[in-house]
């Protein structure tokens, strides 16, 4: 039966970047994809002004990318970029818990709270809020006001946690037949692709490297450079499991005690 998949992402391009191939695969299998984007992405640029960038990334690029993934129009929480750590304590967790109870997903994708050396404060904030929300959404005394709104406690069985490098990953998903769709979805985030590639090229030059010699013509084409990087990353992940391209996750389901019992039964 088609499943409901809920994704908690800090920024408009995070779902595509970390899990795009897997999400396309699920959509093609009939799953309902619901993307939740916590911030408006207003600070990720060297050229755009904040309000202009927020509108472009959230209202235009994110919606087009969701269509490519096969997802519904994204749910935009609209928090200012790079300011999730300044929200009132528990605010993001409550929003996530409400969405879990509202949509009752079978699977959840989110930033990994246990990823080592995560540099982005928005990623860290979403990761911990998502972890808390998914672990305590089954408890009726957590935000009991949700009950008065008709929302019931809900346990999400499958959790897919993503991060840079996917350290601690225990599940690799084959995206050989969805990699091109992942790239197509990422390409809709044109402003962010340009920004990310420019940021890396600036650092490469400071390090004394010559991007032209490394990337050739791709050095002057942000999407070509991103494609090269994504291919290298997906190839490295896939190689671990004998695949052409893969995406890696830290995958969890039940309490360790329950998992041990299941392992004993099999």
pLDDT class for 60, splitting at 50, 70, 90? very high
223 assigned to some structural domain: no
Q: Residue 211 and residue 200: Cα distance in Å, rounded?
A: 10
149 assigned to some structural domain: yes
Residues spanned by the domain of 20: 4-186+245-265
Token reading at 71 = 């997802």
Q: Is this model's pTM higher than 0.85 or not?
A: yes
Number of folded domains that form the chain: 1
The CB density around residue 46, as the number of other CB atoms within 10 Å, is 9
Residue closest to 25 by CA, chosen among 163, 174, 145: 174
Tell me the H-state helices in the chain.
14-28, 50-54, 62-69, 91-103, 121-136, 145-148, 179-187, 190-206, 211-215, 222-239, 256-265
219 assigned to some structural domain: no
Write the CATH number for 149: 3.40.50.10320
28 assigned to some structural domain: yes
Least confidently predicted of 37-51, 85-99, 121-135, 141-155: 37-51
**Residues 191-236: pLDDT tens digits?**
999 999 989 888 988 999 887 777 776 667 899 999 999 999 999 9
């Amino acid at each position: 039966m088609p499943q409901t998949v809920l994704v908690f992402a800090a920024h408009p391009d995070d779902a595509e970047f970390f899990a795009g191939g897997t999400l396309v695969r699920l959509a093609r299998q009939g799953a309902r994809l619901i993307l939740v984007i916590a911030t408006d992405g207003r600070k990720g640029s060297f050229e755009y002004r904040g309000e202009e960038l927020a509108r472009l990334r959230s209202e235009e690029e994110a919606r087009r990318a969701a269509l490519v993934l096969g997802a519904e129009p994204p749910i935009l929480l609209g928090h200012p970029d790079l300011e999730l750590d300044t929200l009132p304590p528990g605010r993001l967790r409550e929003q996530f818990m409400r969405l879990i109870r509202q949509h009752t997903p079978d699977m959840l994708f989110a930033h990994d709270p246990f990823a080592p050396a995560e540099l982005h404060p928005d990623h860290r904030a979403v990761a911990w809020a998502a972890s808390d929300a998914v672990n305590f959404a089954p408890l009726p005394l957590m935000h009991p006001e949700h009950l008065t709104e008709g929302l019931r406690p809900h346990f999400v069985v499958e959790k897919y946690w993503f991060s840079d490098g996917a350290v601690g990953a225990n599940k690799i998903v084959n995206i050989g037949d969805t990699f091109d769709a992942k790239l197509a979805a990422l390409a809709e985030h044109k402003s962010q692709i340009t920004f990310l590639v420019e940021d890396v090229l600036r650092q490469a030059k400071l390090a004394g490297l010559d991007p032209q010699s490394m990337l050739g013509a791709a050095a002057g084409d942000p999407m070509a450079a991103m494609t090269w990087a994504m291919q290298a990353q997906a190839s490295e992940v896939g190689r671990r499991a004998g695949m052409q391209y893969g995406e890696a996750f830290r995958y969890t389901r039940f309490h360790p005690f329950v998992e041990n019992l299941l392992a004993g039964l099999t």
